[in-house]
Amino acid sequence: MTALFYLSRGTRLALYRNRILASGELLQSFKLDRYRVVVSGLVLSNQLAVCPFTTLAYRPVYSCQRFSQIRGFVTGRSETKASSEFEQQGKEELNCKMLPVKPFERLPKTVVPVHYDITIKPDLVKLVFEGHESVTLKVVEPVDQIILNSLELELENIRIVDEAGQETNISKVVLDVENEKAIFKLDSVLQPGQYHLKLGFKGAIIDKLKGFYCSKYLSADGEERYSGVTQFEPTDARRAFPCWDEPAVKATFDITLVVPKDRVALCNMPVVSELPYEADPNLHVVKFDRTPIMSTYLVAYVVGEFDYVEERSADGVLVRCYTPVGKKEQGRFGLYVAAKVLPYYKEYFGVEYPLPKMDLVAVADFAAGAMENWGLVTYRETCLLVDDQNTSTQRRQWVAIVVGHELAHQWFGNLVTMEWWTHLWLNEGYATFVESLCVDHLFPEFKIWTQFVTDTSTPALDLDSLKNSHPIEVPIGHPEEIDEIFDDISYHKGAAIIRMLHNYIGDDDFRRGMKLYLTRHKYGNTFTEDLWAALSEASKKPVGSIMSGWTKQMGFPVIRVSARQEADKRILQLSQQRFLADGTKDENNTMWMVPIEIATSRSPTTPSKSFVLEGETAEVVLDDIRPDEWFKMNPGQVGFYRTCYEPELLKHLVSAIDHQTLPPLDRLGLLDDLFALVQAGHSSTVEALTLLEAFANEDQYTVWNRVCSALSKLSHLLAYTEHHELLKSFGRQLLGGMTRKLGWESKPDEEHLTKLLRSLLLGRMAMFDDPEVIAEAERRFQLHIKGEEQIPADFRSTVYKAVLRTGSRSKYEDLLRIYREASLHEEKDRVASALGTIKNEEILKEVLAFAMSNEVRSQDTVFVISSVASSKLGRDLAWNYFKDNWDLFNERFKGAFLLVRLVKSLTENFASEEKAIEIENFFKEHHCVGTERTVQQSVESVRLNAAWLGRDAEAVGIYLTSKTNAAAVE
């Protein structure tokens, strides 16, 4: 039996009858049940870390199911609180819903690696590799076995030698496949001291986009070849060499690659020597410099054929951008960004980039968008390469963001690393915040902070309003659980609450705090609270008390606001409650410390009130405000909460939209909040449609972006009613004016955001079947395929989708040809995500088969299938196809986070109870490892969609009909 739960650092566990002993104290509050710990009473000890109990207390359902998996699992630095507080929290810990979970233990700390000396010899034709390593070990306590991670590797010649060359016999090697571990049982006990573990290993270079994997490319003369690439995050270094594969077990690495002389070989550090390989004159031995002390998931090496461009950054780092052969010009933009960003971060964080070089490599087959390996960042081609003629404005912006994000990790993640995956958000949320800082610095014209709300905050709020959300700090055990938390909570909620905090303490204190944090913990590991400690010290504000509620509890509040005027004062009544997408009341009565700001029409951008809402309610007085003047909560939508105004107040604000006296992000914010309230049934869809109409004269890209996503959501829903056509007509009316104003031709020196706006509106109008837009798209498409006039990259996606909507088989075939002939991956992606717009069932089935064919790289399969699943007709086809071919999907994507994304996009837009049940049942019978929470979230979304339709569809139909009639009369 495994007893498992969270404890502070240094707390030890033992079993005593049916109870757990923690550091010698009996915890009467825990009862054990086979693999789980069931919380059944109050926590009586105040010697324990606060983490386990607060996490549990806040989110019993979720936490408990994870809670049980980890023995001696440290989730926070120790902190002592009065036992009365534990008792208060303990009361909420009951009634946990349990899911079956795999037991899991972290590696023992009795033996730790200090240094690895690794040699790898890949064979990129047979797709296998062999290697050997010598790991310098520190034995901390006497041990009779050594446990480390190893997966799908054949191990040989395992030896343990002490400093004097004395060998200790290994009596038995146990491969614990389930737990991805190798256990070397020793003949005698190893006493504390330094030893060397030496062993050889062999493995396959797999095509699964993880571990040491192969990526296919065509040589100049059309021959299919493979490069060898690594992707180790989160837990796949163990597939490439046996190691202590946990982020907190840091060591230095000397890496040597034995590779063909005509291939480029890259690693985290620069080359120190290249020597002949005696056994084979075609190979040579490339030795790389020693790395700083670092985590295994950041080790990387790449062997293949590449060209590169290079530049030295202002602070002396050699930056290179590696591209496919013949495409080095496409690396210029990424190179530019990287070379500029390194000195910017150095200055911002006040800490140097510690390596002498930074390589960026575009890899043809890549699961994520990019990976921050220290000194050797790998990218999907579409996230790094920019082709002047064929890259869209949107893509170019994305490349800047991705480069900014990965380079931020070089400090945040690589230099200072999360102690465990529970704190993944420290890496990802933080990098997602900082990417905007640097992109704003390099490209102020992108106005990236205005895009932050729609791209980052809103998706996070949406996901976090589900009952099946999870806290930012999420208990993680078995590796299978990790992929799923690379989600909108870790990235987007993480970034959004950092932005809220940045605003609360101000940029100067924030920078000072960051510098303190990075300096204090460099080359080390941290818990979330370490970040709060540094920021508190720098700002002298209670950062930890405010922020822990946001990271340890799931969800966020809705602030309800009512007001009365007294003479020249406005008295506001505020109250908070957790916002739940289904409109129910939060049974746990969760509270947050909410930094609140309020702006008024006299001072629309600088808040006239700032304070922290601590309890459930507060009264706030705005001085010097006339009855006709408005106030708005949360200016700039910086706070991670929703606002619900009483109707009278909202009316005031709507007229401020009409007159554009409300700043853009606040216009957007009103709509965003109202839509969420509509989904929760607190407000009606008709009210939201009325608000949408106030945006007809809008001129800001970001605001339109939110308007369009609101329309898309409605369109998805109304596709299940007879009002779909009416909605499209409403959309055409709303977007028509601005679309015609912008036209298809871009003007010289046009603003970046205008370009984005034009692409956005044309794309939407095509989706709303606007005859003019579709006709123009057809015309341009003809010229394009005849080779007479290229469609500008910004419109290609729109045109492809538009021509397919009404399209015949011949258009489909034209597009397949474009796909096959495209050498730029971005172009293939554009076609891939257009294919599903065709409205022909037979062809859609072919598209699904195409997605799984070997013409589509498995990294892109998800795009194609998601595009099919984006319409009502295609959704059923795609879902059925997925179910029918389950074994194939499972085999190809098992344990890959792409599967998480696929499951989400296939299921979440259905809108009936029957589908919710069907999805639930399917995944009950077909266990889809690592997607458990995603399935629960999707099922919840499907039920929310169904409830929404049930509530509002009829009224929406009546409203839209009246609008169409009115338009006809005009």
944 binds, among Zn ion, ligand BES, none (CB under 5 to 8 A by kind): none
Query: CB of residue 448 vs ligand BES: minimum separation in angstroms?
Result: 12
Residue with Cβ nearer ligand BES (368 or 852): 368
Please answer whether residues 803 and 778 qualify as being in contact, where contact means their C-beta atoms are separated by less than 8 angstroms: yes
Give the separation between CA 545 and CA 533, rounded to whole angstroms: 10
Residue with Cβ nearer ligand BES (372 or 481): 372
Q: What is the three-class DSSP state of 870?
A: coil
Distance between start and end Cα atoms, the chain: 76
In the range 194-223, which residues lie near Zn ion by CB under 5 A?
none
Residue with Cβ nearer Zn ion (49 or 209): 209
Q: Per-residue string for binding with ligand BES, 460-499, x by CB under 6 A?
A: --------------------------x-------------
Query: CB of residue 376 vs ligand BES: minimum separation in angstroms?
Result: 13
DSSP 49-94: -SHHHHHHHH-HHHHHHHHTTEESEE-S------HHHHHHHHGGG-
Say how many residues touch Zn ion, by CB under 5 A: 2
Please answer whether residues 757 and 740 qualify as being in contact, where contact means their C-beta atoms are separated by less than 8 angstroms: no
Give the separation between CA 524 and CA 120, rounded to whole angstroms: 27
Give the separation between CA 228 and CA 200, rounded to whole angstroms: 20
Residue with Cβ nearer ligand BES (240 or 401): 401
- Assess 409 for contact with ligand BES (CB under 6 A): yes
682 is in an annotated binding site: no
Which region, judged by CB under 6 A, interacts with ligand BES, from 41-49, 364-372, 527-535, 749-757?
364-372
Query: CB of residue 846 vs ligand BES: minimum separation in angstroms?
Result: 29
- Assess 402 for contact with ligand BES (CB under 6 A): yes
Residue with Cβ nearer Zn ion (245 or 428): 428
687 binds, among ligand BES, Zn ion, none (CB under 5 to 8 A by kind): none
Q: Is 347 a catalytic residue?
A: no
Please answer whether residues 71 and 1 qualify as being in contact, where contact means their C-beta atoms are separated by less than 8 angstroms: no
Please answer whether residues 157 and 163 qualify as being in contact, where contact means their C-beta atoms are separated by less than 8 angstroms: no
Half-sphere exposure of 888 (CA within 13 A, CB side): 12
In the range 424-443, which residues lie near ligand BES by CB under 6 A?
428
Q: Per-residue string for binding with ligand BES, 217-256, x by CB under 6 A?
A: ----------------xx----------------------
402 binds, among ligand BES, Zn ion, none (CB under 5 to 8 A by kind): ligand BES
**Strand 357-363 with 376-380, pairing:** parallel
Give the separation between CA 723 and CA 732, rounded to whole angstroms: 14
Out of 180, 372, 381, 406, the active site residue is: 406
CA distances from 30 to 6, 20, 27, 36, 37 (A): 12, 7, 6, 10, 6
In the range 400-439, which residues lie near Zn ion by CB under 5 A?
428, 431
196 is in an annotated binding site: no
Give the separation between CA 868 and CA 129, rounded to whole angstroms: 39
502 binds, among ligand BES, Zn ion, none (CB under 5 to 8 A by kind): none
- Assess 401 for contact with ligand BES (CB under 6 A): yes
Residue with Cβ nearer ligand BES (422 or 553): 422
Which region, judged by CB under 6 A, interacts with ligand BES, from 61-69, 403-411, 575-583, 723-731?
403-411
Give the separation between CA 263 and CA 183, rounded to whole angstroms: 36
Residue with Cβ nearer ligand BES (462 or 487): 487
Residue with Cβ nearer Zn ion (495 or 668): 495
Query: CB of residue 381 vs ligand BES: minimum separation in angstroms?
Result: 13
Which one, of 321, 259, 318, lies nearest residue 287 by Cα? 259
Query: CB of residue 486 vs ligand BES: minimum separation in angstroms?
Result: 4
537 is in an annotated binding site: no
362 binds, among Zn ion, ligand BES, none (CB under 5 to 8 A by kind): none
Please answer whether residues 28 and 40 qualify as being in contact, where contact means their C-beta atoms are separated by less than 8 angstroms: no
Please answer whether residues 765 and 758 qualify as being in contact, where contact means their C-beta atoms are separated by less than 8 angstroms: no
Output the CA angle 460-464-466, nearest 5 degrees.
135
Give the separation between CA 259 and CA 276, rounded to whole angstroms: 10
401 binds, among ligand BES, Zn ion, none (CB under 5 to 8 A by kind): ligand BES
Which one, of 181, 115, 180, lies nearest residue 145 by Cα? 181
Say how many residues touch ligand BES, by CB under 6 A: 15
Question: How many helices and strands in the chain, by DSSP H and E?
Answer: 29, 38
Output the CA angle 873-879-885, nearest 5 degrees.
135
Residue with Cβ nearer ligand BES (485 or 572): 485
Cβ atoms within 10 Å of 76's Cβ, excluding its own: 25
Which positions ≥6 away from 909 have C-beta within 8 Å?
A: 716, 869, 870, 875, 941, 942, 945
Q: Per-residue string for binding with Zn ion, 532-561, x by CB under 5 A?
A: ------------------------------
Query: CB of residue 705 vs ligand BES: minimum separation in angstroms?
Result: 18
Which positions ≥6 away from 418 have C-beta within 8 Å?
A: 247, 424, 426, 427, 525, 526, 527
Pick one of 184, 897, 923, 959: the residue that binds ligand BES (CB under 6 A): 897
**Strand 307-312 with 642-645, pairing:** unpaired
Pick one of 77, 196, 250, 405: the residue that binds ligand BES (CB under 6 A): 405
Query: CB of residue 349 vs Zn ion: minimum separation in angstroms?
Result: 16
Which region, judged by CB under 6 A, interacts with ligand BES, from 404-412, 442-450, 525-533, 571-579?
404-412
Query: CB of residue 81 vs Zn ion: minimum separation in angstroms?
Result: 33
Query: CB of residue 365 vs Zn ion: minimum separation in angstroms?
Result: 19
In the range 365-394, which residues lie near ligand BES by CB under 6 A?
368-372
- What residue numbers does the annotated binding site cover? 405, 409, 428
- Interacting residue ranges for ligand BES, rule: CB under 6 A: 233-234, 368-372, 401-402, 405-406, 409, 428, 486, 897
Residues making contact with Zn ion (CB under 5 A)? 428, 431
Q: Active-site residue numbers?
A: 406
Residues in the annotated binding site for Zn(2+): 405, 409, 428
